[in-house]
Chains A and B, each alone.
Chain A
Amino acid sequence: MDVDELRDKAELLASLSDEQLGVLTPVVGEVTYPASEFLFREDQTAEEFFIVEKGLVSLELITPGIEPMVIVSLGPSELVGISWMFPPYKWKWTARAIKDSQLLVFDAVGVRAQCEEDPELELVVLQMVADQAVKRLHSTRVQLMDLYESR
Chain B
Amino acid sequence: MLPRPYRVVEVHPEAADTVTLSLVAAHGDGESSFEPGQFTMLYVLGVGEVPIGLSGDPGQGRVRQHTVRRVGAVTNALCDLEVDSEIGVRGPFGTSWPTGQAEEKDILIIAGGIGLAPLRPAVFDILANRDRFGSASVLYGVGTPQDLLFEEDLHSWRGRFDIEVEVTVDRSTRPWRGDVGVVTTLLPRVSFDPSKTIALVCGPEIMMKVVARELSALGVSPEDIFVSIERNMKCAIGFCGHCQFGADFICLDGPVISYASVAARLGVPEL
Which residues of chain B come closer than 8 Å to A145, judged between CB atoms? 206
How far, in angstroms, from A149 to B142 measured CA to CA in the complex? 10
The reply to whether the CB of A134 lies closer than 8 angstroms to some CB of chain B is no
**Would you call A146 and B181 a contact (CB within 8 A)?**
no
**Would you call B189 and A149 a contact (CB within 8 A)?**
no
Interface residues on B, range: 20 to 34
**Would you call A148 and B179 a contact (CB within 8 A)?**
no
> Which of B69, B142, B172, B204 has a CB less than 8 Å from the CB of A151?
B204
How far, in angstroms, from A70 to B143 measured CA to CA in the complex? 13
Which residues of chain A come closer than 8 Å to B159, judged between CB atoms? none
Shortest beta-carbon distance, B97 to chain A, in Å? 20
Assuming the contacts A71-B180, A76-B189, asked whether A147 and B174 have C-beta atoms less than 8 A apart, the reply is no
Interface class of chain B by DSSP? mixed
The reply to whether the CB of B178 lies closer than 8 angstroms to some CB of chain A is yes
How far, in angstroms, from A56 to B184 measured CA to CA in the complex? 16
**Would you call A148 and B182 a contact (CB within 8 A)?**
no
The reply to whether the CB of A22 lies closer than 8 angstroms to some CB of chain B is no
The reply to whether the CB of A34 lies closer than 8 angstroms to some CB of chain B is no
How far, in angstroms, from A146 to B203 measured CA to CA in the complex? 12
The reply to whether the CB of B170 lies closer than 8 angstroms to some CB of chain A is yes
**Would you call A73 and B143 a contact (CB within 8 A)?**
no
- Give residues of chain A (113-151) contacting chain B, Cβ–Cβ below 8 Å: 139, 142-143, 145-151
How far, in angstroms, from A70 to B189 measured CA to CA in the complex? 20
**Would you call A35 and B147 a contact (CB within 8 A)?**
no
**Would you call A35 and B143 a contact (CB within 8 A)?**
no
The reply to whether the CB of A7 lies closer than 8 angstroms to some CB of chain B is no
- The winner among B176, B183, B185, B206 for most chain A CB atoms within 10 A is B185
**Would you call B177 and A147 a contact (CB within 8 A)?**
no
Which residues of chain B come closer than 8 Å to A146, judged between CB atoms? 143, 170
Shortest beta-carbon distance, B264 to chain A, in Å? 20
**Would you call B179 and A75 a contact (CB within 8 A)?**
yes
Where the two chains meet, the residues of B that have a C-beta atom closer than 8 Å to any C-beta of A are 69, 71, 112-114, 141-143, 147, 168, 170-174, 176-185, 188-189, 203-204, 206-207, 210
Where the two chains meet, the residues of A that have a C-beta atom closer than 8 Å to any C-beta of B are 35, 56, 58, 67-73, 75-77, 98-99, 139, 142-143, 145-151
A-B pairs, 3 with minimum CB distance: A148-B113, A147-B207, A67-B173
